[in-house]
Amino acid sequence: MPLVLATQAPGEPEVFASLQGEGPSAGQPCTFVRLSRCNLACEWCDTAYTWRFEGDNRPHRDGVDFARKANQVTLEVAEVAERIAAFTPRRLVITGGEPLLQAGALAELVALLPDHTVEIETNGTVAPPARLDVHVDQYNVSPKLAHSGNPAELALIPERLHHWASEPRAFLKFVIAAPSDVDEVLALARSYHMNPLRIFLMPEGTDSATLHEREQWLAPLCVGHGFRMSDRLHIHLYGDTRGT
């Protein structure tokens, strides 16, 4: 079964080694694989090249669409596993797009990499099947708030939120663009009994200046509500670039 990947250059799949920039594993050396396709459309998405292809009119603040042929590549699972195994870090981060849209092929992939610790980044709307879930060590779940532009009925599915709130391997990471966004997080945390120590608030931004500015008001909000704060280390190190 093949996997559909994003590209870091035309025809070159986005499989790379770097430091994890966000969430509970920030600073750890990891091997990343970025998959293509997403079932949501965040207006501020910094990987719109994984889903906003020519003809997709869903809103995005940059208003750019991408040629599918140059930004998407299909590879057999065994080849993807070989590319991953060629990198030194044995912590594998599977990201997207929305990786769980390709859960069947992912189950085959991780079964070929038994010496890897597996971390999946997901928007939280898709249930992982058992044949994949058994191989996953950590879920980084990023439910999308109203400012993402996604309808709540698509982005905040009660059954899925209940599941992630009770899943001990899951950390919940919320993208914050304005202080008022934290009120929405508080409401979700109350409704779904989320453990605040498993909640990360992360400023939205694709440049260091914006991140630093927003962290100034986000940090005291994290302290006041008992949430953890996530920076975006890769932005400070490499900028808003692919393969980092």
Average pLDDT in the chain: 98
88-129 per-position pLDDT tens digit: 999 999 999 999 999 999 999 999 999 999 999 999 999 999
51-68 per-position pLDDT tens digit: 999 999 899 999 999 999
What are the residue boundaries of the structural domains of the chain, listed by start? 2-174
136-184 per-position pLDDT tens digit: 999 999 999 999 999 999 999 999 999 999 999 999 999 999 999 999 9
What is the domain class of 2-174 according to CATH?
Answer: alpha beta
Q: Any bridge partners for residue 6, and if so which? A: 72
Task: Provide the pLDDT for residue 34.
Answer: 98
Long-range CB contact pairs, 237-241, < 8 A, 24+:
237/19, 237/21, 238/18, 239/207, 240/46, 240/206, 240/207
Task: Provide the pLDDT for residue 122.
Answer: 98
